[in-house]
A and B are shown apart, each in its own frame.
Chain A
């Protein structure tokens, strides 16, 4: 009985159920659109795993969302809600791009420099909202959303500055120097940075006094204060780390995939996808790795759906449903546990 109960209590089960339900609902819409769900899902799977090259591309898609996922997960674990990962991602992209374009140093220095600049930019962007929260009590969700838009327009402004803008026309910056690209033999290796940072984040949360302190403040600010922990400082530290992770997400995106920053027509959504990834990964940094790869696979595989004339938007429907069903997992949990109990009583 104990084993069964522990399975019924584990979050993993409900995540799997939520993903299955997401696919079932996606299938309904596919049928509606006149596409065979089996064919569409096979296409996604096939495009992800058929060639080693595709697996690498999937991981390249995964890296930035793993990092924004880590950013959001870290904020969840420490009692703040970083809905501003989007903006931090954008300023991270920008900082990495500027260093990548204008500083000419060997790759060994250049790559870390870009990443540090992006981390600093993301942390700073997040900290401004943090200071407003700690000093003035302004709720971080409001200021983060506004800062997402400020970052958006800031980026579009910088992209169009004379000297930054690509000379041969096009609404984008110049290309990053090769020494700032995360590309080895034509393969994007951003995933390694994402995985290493996930492990570091996990260590910080689970193994360090810093993690203990930040979690204590996140769970119960009053007890933490009572025990002599400076809660304001802790909240700022948590937000800075969270912002830095999202900023690095922006860096690996521009250094791995894009190679330049294009003018936005709309918010790109990496930060918001981070919320999805954090939820699927149960806010556990190691879980976030797998959730991010799953999301990366869906994004990459989904982009191939047009080849069989299926709408690639179906991916957004599936991911949206997954999040909803994870969010209401406690309903399933209560349901299953009560069914389990009834069976036991009989």
Chain B
């Protein structure tokens, strides 16, 4: 991605000096410095829970800093509320959108600051103003569409427009790409460029190094609440950034020895299925996964991946076809039957499918095995066996905070929740592991951890089906990549030879078998 800086190094718009924020005896921010210039994209990098959001909430007037000063346009300012922050030209786009679903795009943007004609809202003027701003920055939105009908990418543009409409000069974007597709991410990068060209400043909170390299001028790194450094992005590598973020060297290149695939584990033949609306979504899909190989299923979301995984794990019924697992028929069987036949999985939605959030970590670790010895005997749970199992796995998989066995799973960070699932599924030791977007929303340290375990399973001779929207992940892990498009496998490439361009072509419906 080409990069052009619009930063004006002589004009500082936001400066935070030696910010300390304590909650009780916990220090979330420990003397943090931040300097943002006009037209700059300034990334704030840190692991989950490092204190990025706290710092931004201080800037946005949600928290009062325990110590330290904030200067806006060179003037020392005490920001006492989000309203005040907005008046000072600071706008925040939250990771989870705050839009009213049945309202139109225009209604959402003007909410609270409606232009009036007498006592009624001047909708025509509002609509026109919205269109003006959206055109100025190249943000295509339909001002009359309802939020519930538009894509996630467009909802995010509405959030950005909302902030711009209120006259923001500095925009805080909190994990803006977390829920976007790769195309939408490209579009967002373009929008950021247009905004900085107009003299707006962007504070980008993220843990995705690639995006920082693609669009940021400077990057401030925070680790465990402490200020580490501010670096010029052009002068450092992704590896440098990652090392500063986690405090040690991170291995991006997944270590993987050459290995011959073993005997057939999962075999799918001519699978047909309908989606929830009754439209055919899998149209004769066939796929084999052997022992000791990682098969990456690449594809744009919505081409049948979700349904395929649901069918394989017994959550959804298919129309026709054949599925066998190590010779056992698992076509349209229950989740329990498929599990017993050897299918384990890391589900896409860890909170909806992977965990019972109200249960303790220990109870979550036995979700498939609570009826078996040693965890229960004659229908009575053995608290000791459950606790022993948990303390062992919590330690082995470094699930944090330490000794969290009895805490409800909902109190853990996303990365650690994922570790709970991985600990459980890896321990299940089934012939096949289906991993769906296993690193979504995780920081590099946790990603490295997850990848390591997936490869370790393969080396032990397990069959792995990796379904991911992250092409990098597919390419670095897979021994073989199968491309799914419109409910069929449309192409197959060996993991070694894969390149992004060819995969992109296949994922868009191209064929490689001419």
Contacts of A216 in B (CB 8 A): 356, 359, 367
Closest to A5 in B: B24
A230 and B334 in contact (CB under 8 A), knowing A209-B370, A216-B359? yes
Q: Which of B110-118, B376-384, B477-485 contacts A (4 or more CB under 8 A)?
A: B376-384
A228 and B335 in contact (CB under 8 A), knowing A208-B379, A208-B380, A209-B379? yes
Query: Smallest distance from the beta carbon of B379 to chain A beta carbons, Å?
Result: 5
Main secondary structure of the interface of A (DSSP, over half): helix
Contacts of A344 in B (CB 8 A): 24
A224 vs B354: C-alpha distance when bound (angstroms): 9
Q: Are A225 and B368 in contact (CB under 8 A)?
A: no
Q: A223 an interface residue at 8 Å Cβ cutoff? A: yes
Closest to A227 in B: B367
Q: Are B370 and A220 in contact (CB under 8 A)?
A: no
Query: Smallest distance from the beta carbon of A213 to chain B beta carbons, Å?
Result: 7
Contacts of B345 in A (CB 8 A): 226
Q: Are A223 and B379 in contact (CB under 8 A)?
A: no
Closest to B347 in A: A226
A209 vs B315: C-alpha distance when bound (angstroms): 22
Contacts of B352 in A (CB 8 A): 220, 222-223
Best-buried of B313, B347, B367 by chain A (most CB within 10 Å): B367
Q: A341 an interface residue at 8 Å Cβ cutoff? A: yes
Q: Count chain B residues whose beta carbon lies closer than 8 angstroms to a beta carbon of A.
A: 27
A109-168 contacts to B (CB < 8 Å): none
Contact of A209 among B314, B358, B368, B371 (CB under 8 A): B371
Contact of B339 among A207, A222, A228 (CB under 8 A): A228
Q: B12 an interface residue at 8 Å Cβ cutoff? A: no
Q: Are B380 and A212 in contact (CB under 8 A)?
A: no
Total residue contacts A-B, CB cutoff 8 A = 67
Interface size class of A (residues with CB under 8 A): 20 to 34
Q: Are A226 and B359 in contact (CB under 8 A)?
A: no
A206-257 contacts to B (CB < 8 Å): 207-210, 212-213, 215-216, 219-220, 222-230
Q: Are A228 and B380 in contact (CB under 8 A)?
A: no
Contacts of A213 in B (CB 8 A): 370-371
Contacts of B313 in A (CB 8 A): 226
Query: Smallest distance from the beta carbon of A33 to chain B beta carbons, Å?
Result: 44
Contacts of A212 in B (CB 8 A): 363, 370, 381
Contacts of A228 in B (CB 8 A): 314, 334-336, 339, 368
27 contacts between A and B (CB under 8 A): A1-B24, A208-B380, A209-B371, A209-B376, A209-B379, A209-B380, A209-B381, A212-B381, A213-B370, A215-B356, A215-B359, A216-B356, A216-B359, A219-B356, A219-B357, A220-B357, A222-B353, A223-B356, A224-B367, A225-B335, A226-B313, A226-B335, A226-B347, A227-B339, A228-B336, A229-B336, A230-B336
Q: B residues near A, CB below 8 A?
A: 24, 313-315, 334-336, 339, 345, 347, 352-359, 363, 367-368, 370-371, 376, 379-381
Q: A residues near B, CB below 8 A?
A: 1, 207-210, 212-213, 215-216, 219-220, 222-230, 341, 344
> Which 5 A-B pairs give the minimum distances between C-beta atoms?
A228-B336, A227-B367, A228-B335, A226-B353, A219-B358
